[in-house]
Amino acid sequence: MNLPKYKDVVKAHERIKPYIHKTPVLTSKSINEITGCEIFFKCENFQKVGAFKFRGACNAVFSPRLKELEQGVSAHSSGNHAAALALAARMRGVPAYIVMPENAPEIKINAVRGYGGKITFCKPTNKARESELEKVNKKTGAQEIHPYNNFNVIAGQGTCAKELMDEVSSLDSIITPLGGGGLLSGTCLAAHGLNPEIKIYGVEPKGAADACLSLKTGKIEPSLNPVTIADGLLTSLGTLTFPIIQSHITEILTVNENTIIEAMFLIWERMKIVIEPSAAVTLAAIIENNELFKNQRVGIILTGGNISISQASSYIKKEPG
């Protein structure tokens, strides 16, 4: 199996630099005091399309020769990958065909349309998404860009950790959210390429802990009926992401829903920036595992900030009291 390596992350970074934002690394004295460690927040909520997903989509779209993409690119996605691929395709001058479930958040549908993506709606099941995408590809000749189980996407996502570690020296640990594993596997390649001793943690909600189970059983366990507000972390690991994570990961941590909300509010209130629930699991992991990270220098990736006002309001009602 041809898996990406650290050198592919470096090549990806050079390729996408002209198109991505070099997002800031922020700190918060008050959050450091609360958690007992020094945290460096890599703010991908300030990335184009409001999420780290643009890095991988951009690397995938700009990697092949132009003639290979003349018919466009495609994906099924209800979230940030859809918008990221639509924008990257527009920047390259090729069409993007996106299959979205009919119950996808309106804010994300509007984003895909705004970036020029051609949307086909389907029933909200994985089978329906895959079936509809197959029809779209057959009709258009578009090349599918998988949201995480793709060589170039993984290498592109790894550029986020590379930027963080290039800017902040001597990190003890780095933490990323974990859904399909594109970001975490890219982070593994970048982090251990730069510092073989750094500890790498993935975080997933307790209600969507398929990756934690997968590491225990040694095989990819499907994500069956996941229940969590972190809607970007619902997918199963991929055949490319799983072996990379197996080889590099220190531990996968799982967190409670109330702690995700607590962490999200803490970042909103103390740092005055907007993040979505999927991004908040990293700080939630530190809150729930305080002794594990005590007195450490910890890098965490805030993966995105795509949340509507109405969605945010619903979480305010659930704020732990």
The whole-angstrom separation of Cα 23 and Cα 240 is 26
Tell me the backbone φ, ψ of residue 43, rounded to 5 degrees. -90, 80
Question: Which residue type does 300 have?
Answer: I
Say how many CA atoms lie within 13 Å of 315 toward its Cβ: 23
Residues involved in catalysis? 53, 78
Tell me the backbone φ, ψ of residue 41, rounded to 5 degrees. -95, 115
Tell me the backbone φ, ψ of residue 223, rounded to 5 degrees. -85, 100
What is 191-242 written as a DSSP string? Answer: HHHH-TT-EEEEEEEGGG-HHHHHHHHTSPPP--S---S-TTS-SPP-TTHH
Task: Please write down the long-range contacts of 204-207, taking CB distance under 8 Å and 24 or more positions apart.
Answer: 204/177, 204/178, 204/179, 204/230, 204/233, 204/252, 204/253, 204/254, 204/255, 204/281, 205/229, 205/230, 205/233, 205/254, 205/255, 205/256, 205/257, 205/260, 205/281, 206/254, 206/255, 206/256, 206/257, 207/257
Tell me the backbone φ, ψ of residue 79, rounded to 5 degrees. -135, -135
Question: Which residue type does 179 have?
Answer: G
The whole-angstrom separation of Cα 78 and Cα 139 is 21
Contact 280, 263 (CB under 8 A): yes
The whole-angstrom separation of Cα 242 and Cα 178 is 11
